[in-house]
Amino acid sequence: MAATRLFVEEFLQLAIQYPVLDVRSPGEYSHAHIPGAHTFPLFTDEERKVVGTAYKQESRQKAIKIGLNYFGPKMVRMTEEAERIAKAYQKNTADGKPVVLVHCWRGGMRSAGVAWLLDLYGFKVYTLAGGYKMYRNWVLQQFEKKYPIHILGGYTGSGKTYVLDALRQHKTKVIDLEELASHKGSAFGNIGMPAQPSQEMFENKLAGQLWQLSKAKANDTIWMEDESQRIGDVNIPAVLFKQMRTKPVFFLDIPFEERLKHIVAEYGPLPKEKLVNAIIRIKKRLGGLDTKNAVNFLIEEDIEACFSILLKYYDKQYLKGLHNREDYENIVHTIACPLVAAAQNAAAVLKNKR
Catalytic residues: 104
Around Cβ 68, how many Cβ atoms within 10 Å? Answer: 11
How many DSSP H helices and E strands does the chain contain? 18, 12
How far is Cα 221 from Cα 195, in angstroms, rounded to an integer? 30
224 backbone dihedrals φ, ψ, rounded to 5°: -135, 155
235 backbone dihedrals φ, ψ, rounded to 5°: -125, 140
Task: Please report, to the nearest 10 degrees, the dihedral formed by the alpha carbons of residues 68, 73, 75, 79 taken in order.
Answer: -150
Per DSSP (E only), the strands in the chain are 4-6, 20-22, 38-39, 99-103, 124-128, 149-154, 173-175, 222-225, 230-231, 234-235, 249-253, 332-336
Contacts of 69 (CB under 8 A, 6+ apart): none
| C-beta separation of 66 from 81 below 8 A | no
How far is Cα 20 from Cα 285, in angstroms, rounded to an integer? 46
Amino acid at 201: M
Q: How far are the Cα atoms of 272, 275, 278, 307, 310 from residue 297, in angstroms, in the given order?
A: 11, 12, 14, 9, 11
Taking every pair of Cα atoms in the chain, the longest distance, rounded to a whole number of angstroms, is 73
